[in-house]
């Protein structure tokens, strides 16, 4: 992407996660932010509110709201958070089918209006939704990426920092696998200023933090009682948009289409990638222990079950 270019970021879904992503993108002055939603007035209201915060927070980014996909024309990055949350009585497959249909419709509109964009999928179950988007968009695999590992790693970094009483910025980590209970946090790649946490805390505490990370989304749902996390998910999506727009070549865990890497085929799964102007520019393959590979296989199996379910109901 040429320097001096004015970038456009479309946030599709102006709910809690979409509006948080828009806020962080505006604060980082990544470009013009367009909030899109099916609810009339909703994205327009949030966009105006975010614009009015600009003079206080010191950003000059333009934030607009729309119900019309024509307004996302030429977007460089699309962050997709539109979808439904699981309601009582709804099975996993019901939710998959409903969100699968929503993502299919959105993908058609993105393909028409922003054919050169890189698409970040946030809607859950996100590895499956990223696969749906990839199939429907017809974009090269590099330009369809799921937001999961960024969030899961941020949660683990936060928990390690709280446990050790160190600055969160000193903590680095890597989380693989699908977003959910089957994620695979890697203790040996979790460090504090270069020191592996295996040297800083006992095994049982490490295991407890890994488990807390796996259940990180559920912990927030249980506390909020209505709704789910949105600050950290919004920040993670904005972080990925930043890496793409500024061509940062950031090594981040992201959900990407695997074609043989990590022994997986034709499935989206969280692995370390280099994220830059071309989207997923490279997949980094790490050597895993047998136990970690088993966990990753299980994680991929869950995503595959979701994809198969959508094939059965005709969404794919
Ligand atoms: N097109 C555009 N927007 C849509 C569509 C659609 N077809 N269908 C639903 N939406 C919008 C809703 O109107 C709502 O404003 O998506 C928004 C979803 O917002 P919330 O219900 O607040 O959900 P949120 O908490 O933002 O989570 C969104 O991100 O992290 C994931 O699991 C989470 O899948 C969920 C998604």
All structural domains of the chain: 8-146 (3.40.50.720), 149-312 (3.90.110.10)
83 contacts 104 by C-beta, under 8 angstroms: no
pTM score, two decimals? 0.97
Residue from 10, 11, 12, 15 to probe ligand 1 pocket by mutation (most atoms less than 8 Å from CB)? 15
Q: Is 95 in the pocket of ligand 1 (CB under 6 A)?
A: no
Which residues are CB-contacts of 40 (< 8 A; sequence separation ≥ 6)? 67
Strands 191-192 vs 184-185: parallel, antiparallel or unpaired: unpaired
Distance 18 CA to ligand 1 centre (A): 7
| Cα distance between the two ends of the chain | 32
Distance 17 CA to ligand 1 centre (A): 8
- Output the pLDDT for position 3: 57
Give the whole-angstrom CA distance, residue 108 versus residue 159. 39
Q: Is 15 in the pocket of ligand 1 (CB under 6 A)?
A: yes
- Output the pLDDT for position 124: 93
Q: Which atom of ligand 1 is nearest to the CA of 129?
A: 34
Residue identifier of the C-alpha nearest atom 22 of ligand 1: 15
Helix then strand then coil, % of the chain, to nearest 5: 50, 20, 30
Q: Say how many residues make up the chain.
A: 316
- Output the pLDDT for position 213: 95
Tokens describing residue 234 = 């919004």
- Output the pLDDT for position 74: 97
Residue from 40, 69, 83 to probe ligand 1 pocket by mutation (most atoms less than 8 Å from CB)? 83
Give the whole-angstrom CA distance, residue 238 versus residue 226. 24
Tokens describing residue 251 = 């090594």
- Output the pLDDT for position 92: 78
Q: Is 38 in the pocket of ligand 1 (CB under 6 A)?
A: yes
Give the whole-angstrom CA distance, residue 301 versus residue 293. 12
62 contacts 33 by C-beta, under 8 angstroms: yes
Active site residues per annotation: 179
Q: Which atom of ligand 1 is nearest to the CA of 124?
A: 34
Give the whole-angstrom CA distance, residue 132 versus residue 48. 32
User: Pick from 279, 187, 179: which is nearest to 233 by CA?
Assistant: 179
Tokens describing residue 10 = 């479309």
- Output the pLDDT for position 77: 98
Dihedral angle sign, alpha carbons of residues 102, 103, 106, 111: negative
Residue from 10, 82, 237 to probe ligand 1 pocket by mutation (most atoms less than 8 Å from CB)? 82
- Output the pLDDT for position 193: 98
Digitized pLDDT (tens) for each residue of the chain, 316 residues in all: 445 789 999 999 999 999 999 999 999 999 999 999 999 999 999 999 999 999 999 999 999 999 999 999 999 999 999 999 777 777 878 889 999 999 999 999 999 999 999 999 999 999 999 999 999 999 999 999 999 899 999 999 999 999 999 999 999 999 999 887 889 999 989 999 999 999 999 999 999 999 999 999 999 999 999 889 999 999 999 999 999 999 999 999 999 999 999 999 999 999 999 999 999 999 999 999 999 999 999 999 999 999 999 999 999 9
Give the whole-angstrom CA distance, residue 86 versus residue 218. 13
- Output the pLDDT for position 17: 97
């Amino acid at each position: 992407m040429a320097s001096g270019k004015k970038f456009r970021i479309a946030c599709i879904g102006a709910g809690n996660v979409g509006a948080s992503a828009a806020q962080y993108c505006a604060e980082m002055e990544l470009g013009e932010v367009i909030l899109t939603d099916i609810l009339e007035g909703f994205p327009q209201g949030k966009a105006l509110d975010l614009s009015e915060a600009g003079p206080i927070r010191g950003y000059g980014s333009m934030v607009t709201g729309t119900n019309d996909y024509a307004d996302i024309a030429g977007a460089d990055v699309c962050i997709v958070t539109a979808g439904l949350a699981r309601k009582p009585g709804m099975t996993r497959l019901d939710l998959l089918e409903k969100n699968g249909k929503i993502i299919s419709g959105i993908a058609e509109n993105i393909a028409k209006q922003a054919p050169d964009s890189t698409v970040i999928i946030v809607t859950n179950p996100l590895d499956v939704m990223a696969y749906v988007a990839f199939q429907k968009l017809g974009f090269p695999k590099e330009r369809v990426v799921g937001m999961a590992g960024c969030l899961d790693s941020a949660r683990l970094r936060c928990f390690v920092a709280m446990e050790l009483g160190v600055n969160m910025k000193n903590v680095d980590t890597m989380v693989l696998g699908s977003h959910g209970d089957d994620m695979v946090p890697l203790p040996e790649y979790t460090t504090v200023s270069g020191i592996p946490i295996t040297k800083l805390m006992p095994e049982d505490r490490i295991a407890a933090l890994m488990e807390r990370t796996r259940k990180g989304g559920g912990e927030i749902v249980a506390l909020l009682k209505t709704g789910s996390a949105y600050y950290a998910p919004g920040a993670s999506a904005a972080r990925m948009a930043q890496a793409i727009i500024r061509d940062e070549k950031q090594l981040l865990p992201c959900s990407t289409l695997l074609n043989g890497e990590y022994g997986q085929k034709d499935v989206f799964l969280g692995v370390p990638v280099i994220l830059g102007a071309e989207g997923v520019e490279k997949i980094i393959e790490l050597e895993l222990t047998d136990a970690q590979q088993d966990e990753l296989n299980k994680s991929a199996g869950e995503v595959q079950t979701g994809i198969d379910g959508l094939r059965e109901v005709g969404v794919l």
